[in-house]
Chain A
Amino acid sequence: MPEKVERLRHDYLRHDKKFPHVWCPGCGNGIVLGALIRAIDSLKLEKDELVLASGIGCAGRMPVYVDFNTLHTTHGRALTFATGIKLANPSLNVLTVMGDGDATAIGGNHFIHAARRNLDLTAIIINNQIYGMTGGQYSPTTPYGSKAATAAYGHIEHAFSIAELAVTAGASFVARGTVYHVPLLDKLIAQGISKKGFSVIEIISNCHIQYGRRNKMGDPVTMMQGFKDRAVTVEKAATLSAEELHDRITIGVLTDVDKPNYTEELQKIRDIAKDKS
């Protein structure tokens, strides 16, 4: 396996881009990028049948480094552009990479409606609990009581749970992972891509520069150790009480259902319309 990983870097990274990448030392985005590349390689997909779209933010920088068809779009609109690509050419595998602010604040409406329509897309949402690129303002996923640049005395709002929001909105595959549990992450992303229907993979990542530094855990090692300690699998979480699950991260596949997806249904309507005309 190790030699394989080295080969993947040569195959999938764009060598005309300047490396090392722009993310901070120890940022989880690089780990997610590695997991994404390994997942795509394990599915043996051609580079030409993949599209990676992203919005704005630290995570939005990801398509720059990979050698697929890529699209860097406006803030929060990664899913809308991806919808257009998927409807124009349903044979493509369309992936989107978003940050937490991108997916749930600016693009929140697009996110829940893409989940409701059950489009055949894969949304990878990197949740670092803060707006990292713009200077540490609180985002919809900043936990209650934690500090941010715009919440110097502690945050007074309550946080979204992106994965549970997606389950309720009607996504057919929802999973959560952290940047510490990388082999699991590879599997979840591979499952999400191969799933027919809207699949959401929420990845809890570390922003030690903007979030960790203000909340007394200012290095990537401390934050990743925290993910290790706080993570519980879905199977174990089912046996724990609500009090024990407080401040824990449930990792694994949260929902996996089969239901008719938008692309197939649209094709059926097209066929009916053709027959009648």
Chain B
Amino acid sequence: MTIRQKGAKEKKRMTDIESNNYWQKKQNLDKKGLKFFSQIIFYDWCKACGICIAFCPKKVFDRSEDGKPVIQRPDDCIGCGFCELHCPDFAITIKERYPDRRRREND
């Protein structure tokens, strides 16, 4: 019984923090006109040529041990689409990400 109450409390606190963060984020977005993008890498088709890692203007990707890109700084992405257009193996997709919309769906 006590354990369950404790869990409920924690959950409530977490949602508060998240909602605060959400409003801050939303205000920042509105003021600065920021856009967020999500990078989707299809690792089965990637051949680790390194073009996306080398030419990314914001250095979003880091090189993993096998030479394939690892998404390290996803919020820096400006959505130029260079990696998507220059990937010879059609392994990268860039999509616009809407943090606030996703939060609303979860609520």
Contact = CB atoms under 8 A, between A and B. Distances in A.
The yes or no verdict on A and B being binding partners is yes
Interface of A: 1-3, 5-6, 9, 13, 19-21, 23-31, 34, 179-180, 182-183, 219-221, 224-225
A221 B47 contact: no
A29 to B, nearest CB: 7
Given A2-B94, A23-B88, A220-B51, 19 more contacts: A2-B37, A5-B81, A6-B95, A13-B90, A20-B45, A20-B46, A24-B47, A25-B47, A25-B88, A25-B89, A26-B51, A30-B89, A30-B90, A31-B86, A31-B87, A31-B88, A179-B86, A180-B86, A220-B50
Quick one: which of B37, B44, B51, B95 has the most chain A CB within 10 A?
A: B51
Contacts, number: 73
| B interface bracket (residues with beta carbon within 8 Å of A) | 20 to 34
- The 6 residue pairs across chains A and B that have the minimum distance between CB atoms: A30-B88, A26-B49, A25-B47, A25-B49, A221-B54, A20-B45
B79 A2 contact: yes
Nearest to B48: A25
B93 interface: yes
Interface in B68-97: 79, 81, 84-91, 93-96
Contacts of B91: 20
